[in-house]
């Protein structure tokens, strides 16, 4: 009787198999709760824990072990939404599954608390840098550049497309990375180091630079109204500038704002106030 009860208890406490569906659900929970429980003590760790809770409940049937897993995933955590959050959510699901199997089969615990946190901490900063530069620095501006002509023509799609397109992109790319992180386990970083991904990142960076140049050239409008006569002949400053370097004044404005940001930090409101004041003064004296 005792053997039967022991066998039944052992079967009941078996960790369930984690599927790609579970990992997708975990990522979606992370995606939509990302900044809600943000705190200075743990940053985004509560979001990660909430995302992982369904996975952890399938793995740990013992309350004490489940509590320990919750505490592991509640340590300080901060990364970018899709590239960092996606890969690490999948990676932690894979590592926790291995940890649960080792505990249940009474094997040596190689998937230690320190190993899991060090892996997470080592990846979250590097992946955040990649994700911010690609998503926030490139992809969203591609959507904006596509939609600006529609907005200028009065098409409501011009105001909606960047938000909808970028939001959909982030959900899909995050799900992809979460599944890849789960499939490759601790070797998830090999995905980022592969030649294909590195080439894609380089191409996207170059495309982003082109898009920034197109936006600056087409939508930053600055021209000079300064004109006077020299020896009875009219001299128009804007025509002279256009004959030398077309679009020189917009370029000077863009580079000036960039220089300000590099020296003072990304203080957008202050930069706009300074730029507005300078343009008003130059317009008042007749230069612009």
Cα distances (angstroms) measured from residue 213 to each of 102, 153, 175, 253? 54, 21, 31, 13
Residues 25 and 179 sit within 8 Å (Cβ to Cβ): no
> Using CA atoms, how far apart are residues 285 and 222, in angstroms rounded to an integer?
15
88-119 pLDDT, tens digit per residue, is 999 899 888 888 888 888 888 878 888 888 78
- pTM, full prediction: 0.63
Q: What is the pLDDT of residue 220?
A: 72
Q: What is the pLDDT of residue 196?
A: 61
Half-sphere exposure of 234 (CA within 13 A, CB side): 6
Residues 65 and 153 sit within 8 Å (Cβ to Cβ): no
Q: What is the pLDDT of residue 174?
A: 92
3 state SS of 40: coil
Q: What is the pLDDT of residue 273?
A: 82
> Using CA atoms, how far apart are residues 173 and 135, in angstroms rounded to an integer?
10
> Using CA atoms, how far apart are residues 131 and 83, in angstroms rounded to an integer?
5
Residues 128 and 149 sit within 8 Å (Cβ to Cβ): no
> Using CA atoms, how far apart are residues 94 and 264, in angstroms rounded to an integer?
43
> Using CA atoms, how far apart are residues 165 and 143, in angstroms rounded to an integer?
7
Mean pLDDT by 10 residues, the chain (288 residues): 48 80 93 83 88 92 89 88 90 88 83 81 80 82 86 85 91 92 67 57 62 67 72 71 75 79 74 80 74
Q: Is 207 exposed, middle or buried (0-12, 13-18, 19+ CB in 10 A)?
A: middle
Q: Which single residue is written with the structure tokens 């500038």?
A: 241
Q: What is the pLDDT of residue 251?
A: 78
Residues 219 and 149 sit within 8 Å (Cβ to Cβ): no
- Return the DSSP state at 39: B
Can you give the residue ranges of every domain in the chain? Answer: 11-214, 222-284
Measured at the CA of 245, the angle between CA 239 and CA 248, to 5 degrees, comes to: 85
Q: What is the pLDDT of residue 189?
A: 47
238-288 pLDDT, tens digit per residue, is 777 777 777 777 778 778 877 877 777 767 677 778 878 887 887 777 777
> Using CA atoms, how far apart are residues 288 and 284, in angstroms rounded to an integer?
8
Q: What is the pLDDT of residue 12?
A: 65
């Amino acid at each position: 009787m005792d053997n039967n009860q022991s066998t039944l208890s052992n079967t009941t406490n078996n960790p369930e198999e984690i599927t790609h569906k579970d990992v997708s659900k975990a990522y979606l929970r992370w995606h939509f709760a990302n900044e809600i429980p943000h705190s200075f003590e743990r940053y985004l760790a509560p979001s990660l824990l909430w995302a992982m809770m369904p996975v952890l409940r399938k793995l740990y049937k013992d309350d004490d072990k489940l509590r320990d897993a919750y505490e592991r995933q509640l340590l300080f955590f901060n990364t970018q939404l899709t590239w960092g959050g996606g890969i690490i959510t999948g990676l932690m699901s894979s590592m926790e599954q291995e940890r649960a199997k080792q505990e249940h089969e009474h094997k040596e615990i190689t998937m230690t608390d320190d190993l899991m946190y060090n892996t997470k901490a080592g990846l979250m900063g590097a992946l955040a840098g990649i994700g911010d530069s690609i998503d926030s620095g490139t992809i969203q501006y591609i959507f904006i550049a596509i939609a600006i002509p529609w907005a200028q023509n009065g098409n409501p799609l011009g105001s909606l497309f960047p938000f909808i397109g970028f939001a959909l992109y982030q959900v899909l790319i995050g799900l992809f990375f979460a599944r890849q992180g789960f499939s490759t386990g601790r070797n998830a970083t090999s995905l980022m180091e592969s030649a294909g991904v590195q080439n894609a990142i380089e191409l996207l960076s170059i495309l982003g630079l082109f898009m920034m140049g197109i936006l600056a050239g087409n939508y930053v409008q600055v021209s000079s109204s300064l004109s006077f006569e020299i020896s009875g002949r009219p001299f128009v400053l804007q025509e002279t500038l256009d004959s030398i370097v077309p679009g020189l004044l917009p370029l000077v404005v863009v580079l000036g704002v960039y220089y300000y940001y590099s020296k003072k930090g990304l203080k957008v409101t202050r930069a706009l106030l300074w730029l507005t004041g300078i343009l008003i003064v130059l317009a008042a004296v007749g230069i612009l």
